[in-house]
Amino acid sequence: MKSNIKAFIFDLDGVIVDTATYHYRSWQHLCKSFGFEFSEADNEQLKGASRMHSLEIILELAGETRSEEEKIRMCAEKNTWYLESIKEITNQDTLPGVQAFIKLAREANYLIALGSASKNAIAIINQLGLTSFFDVMVDGNMVTKGKPDPEGFLLAAQKLCVKPNHCLVFEDAAKGIQAAQKAGMYTVGIGDPRHLGAADMVIETLLNQTPKGILEHI
Ligand code: B16
Ligand code: MG
């Protein structure tokens, strides 16, 4: 049992809500404009990466180059499609078990933070009606370096006033697990163990999980 854990830090996309799918479709839409077939396997590399870093990965995969100005325009276009596609998401669209898990964690007095690379994260949390679940929220606007850099998770720990090694991070992306480990935090991967094998523990979903049960296994 990890009794020194005081805080849980949750990634947004792919952990709280399945917006990863909408990110993927929006990038696919953009890729069509220059004739690139963007596959689901390639998309795995984008999970947790910032918007601009994601575009740079795509351009490299496609063997394309663009000016800085053009890249900014392409990111804005992708974000417009993305925002349009998530317009209708509500509290009912959160991933299985996540709300119940956070409620249990709050009742047990763990501190709760959001640690997302997305610049849309805080607006999405508001849209889902989950703002009161979090003691602090860190999003992509508050950092200069994206995952796998630990900056965002370290900022979340600092805002919570807890040491990094007292934090447990929940992530769906290999880049997010790397970022948390570089920050010196414990990790739970949510999703496919083939991508998340480096985490202290990997689970399919948070459904029927409890903070006590997770802490007994890491
Ligand atoms: P935005 P997370 C990340 O969010 C996503 O995993 C990643 O696919 C996305 O490119 C990134 O946010 C930036 O998102 O374009 O909304 O700023 O998983 O760290 O919550
Ligand atoms: Mg994610």
Exposure string of 34-72, with b = 16+ CB inside 10 Å and e = fewer, is eebebeeebbbbbbbbbbebbbebbbeeeeeeeeeeebe
Backbone angles phi, psi at 130, to 5 degrees: -110, 10
**Tens digit of pLDDT for each residue in 70-98?**
999 999 999 999 999 999 999 999 999 99
Tell me, what amino acid is at 76? A
pLDDT of residue 1 exceeding 80: no
The number of C-alpha atoms within 13 Å of 184 and in the hemisphere containing its C-beta is 8
Q: Span 209-218, mean pLDDT?
A: 96
Binding pocket residue ranges, ligand 1, CB within 6 Å? 11-14, 23, 46-51, 54, 79, 116-121, 140, 173
Distance 175 CA to ligand 2 centre (A): 9
Counting ligand 1 atoms within 8 A of each CB, the residue from 13, 46, 53, 94 with the most, and so the one to mutate, is 13
Distance 101 CA to ligand 1 centre (A): 22
Kindly report the number of other CB atoms within 10 A of residue 192's CB atom: 13
Q: Span 142-159, mean pLDDT?
A: 97
The pLDDT, as a whole number, for residue 3 is: 75
Which pTM does this prediction carry?
A: 0.95
The pLDDT, as a whole number, for residue 36 is: 96
The pLDDT, as a whole number, for residue 94 is: 97
Neighbouring-strand partners of residue 136: 113
Q: Span 99-113, mean pLDDT?
A: 98
Query: What rounded mean pLDDT belongs to the chain?
Result: 96
Q: Span 145-157, mean pLDDT?
A: 97
Neighbouring-strand partners of residue 113: 9, 136
**Tens digit of pLDDT for each residue in 167-192?**
999 999 999 999 999 999 999 999 99
Residue 188 three-state SS: strand
The pLDDT, as a whole number, for residue 137 is: 98
Q: Which one, of 128, 114, 29, 49, lies nearest residue 86 by Cα?
A: 128
**Residue 11 is among the residues annotated as catalytic for this protein:** yes
The pLDDT, as a whole number, for residue 89 is: 96
**Residue 42 is among the residues annotated as catalytic for this protein:** no
Q: Span 113-128, mean pLDDT?
A: 98
Cβ-contact 69, 14 below 8 angstroms: no
Residue 197 three-state SS: coil
Domains of the chain are 7-18+90-215 (3.40.50.1000), 20-85 (1.10.150.240)
